[in-house]
Amino acid sequence: MAKTLRYAVKHSFPIFISFIPVGLAYGVLMQSVGYNALWAGACSLFVMAGSLQYLMVSFFAGGVSLATVAVMALLLNSRHIFYGLSFIEKFRSFGPWKYFLIYSLTDENYSLHCSHHFDEDMNEKWVYVLTAVMPVIYWVVLSVAGAFIGTLIPFDTTGIDFALTALFIVILIEQMKGADNHLPALLAFVSSIVCLIFFGPSNFILPSLLITVALLIILRSRIEPVKPEEKEEN
């Protein structure tokens, strides 16, 4: 277990670094609209969605209705449907822990789960669980810390929202280096560009995901590697 915990901390450490400015800034924003550290920590724990939480700050300040918040949450986080679909079989084998893994399947945890490389003597279930636990802890602690001390730290927040984007670019490059087939990445890139042109920067994510998934299903036979036993049968 100790080895698995060390792996989880090491594997998730880049997430912690990227969360530092974003988490602290979120705590500062919550405090600025009249919500203390308890509220900041509770939102981070129960909502666990950075982009939605930033949007919720303006909702709290403007007194937006719960129905509006619910609809925006669904639209903003609809991409998580596709995250879940790709891990249905994997999480199902982890017993009750599958519910926690589903809850914690954020953008960051999804990227971590897609890039696991651990030793054979490590328990797969605990690798996934502990790796998912770490970003939750990072996010909640940093949000609370931001509400407490964020206003006392003078720093320019310009461009800090690009930290997570940069992290995903690095993860994408690493995955492409280790992949035998780059067709899925190419399909996703092309569909994203096309949808960006037709739907605009605010509405292109969901259509591009739908198109990419449809193309992956259609071209599944060309994308999935042929198993040795299937080659022998042919």
The dihedrals phi and psi of 94, each to the nearest 5 degrees, come to -100, 10
pLDDT band of residue 228 (cuts 50, 70, 90) is very low
pLDDT for 45 equals 93
Q: Tell me the per-residue pLDDT of 165-188, one tens digit each, with 9 for 90 and over.
A: 666 677 677 767 767 778 888 888
User: Of 43-57, 130-144, 168-182, which range is least confident?
Assistant: 168-182
pLDDT of residue 156: 61
Q: What would the mean pLDDT of 61-85 be, rounded to a whole number?
A: 75
**CA–CA separation, 108 and 17 (whole Å):** 12
* Main-chain phi, psi angles of 55, to 5 degrees: -65, -35
| Beta strand spans in the chain (E) | none
Parse the chain into domains and list their residue ranges: 2-159, 179-225
pLDDT of residue 230: 47
- Which of 29-33, 87-91, 159-163, 224-228 is predicted most confidently? 87-91
- d(CA 206, CA 111) in angstroms, rounded, equals 18
Q: Considering only CA atoms, which of 60, 58, 77, 46 is closest in space to residue 139? A: 46
Give me the pLDDT at residue 159, please: 62
Query: CB of 128 within 8 A of CB of 100?
Result: no
Residue that wins the pLDDT comparison between 138 and 89: 138
Q: Reply yes or no on whether the pLDDT at 9 is more than 60.
A: yes
Residue 24 has which token pair? 């602290």
Q: How far is CA 73 from the centre of its chain?
A: 15
pLDDT band at 53, cuts 50/70/90?
A: confident
Q: Report residue 142's pLDDT band, with 50, 70 and 90 as the boundaries.
A: very high
pLDDT band (50, 70, 90) for residue 197: very high
The answer to whether residues 147 and 36 touch, using CB atoms and an 8 Å cutoff, is yes
- Higher-pLDDT residue of 143 and 169 is 143
In the numeric block, which tokens belong to residue 158? 């310009």
> How many of the other CB atoms lie within 10 Å of CB of 228?
8
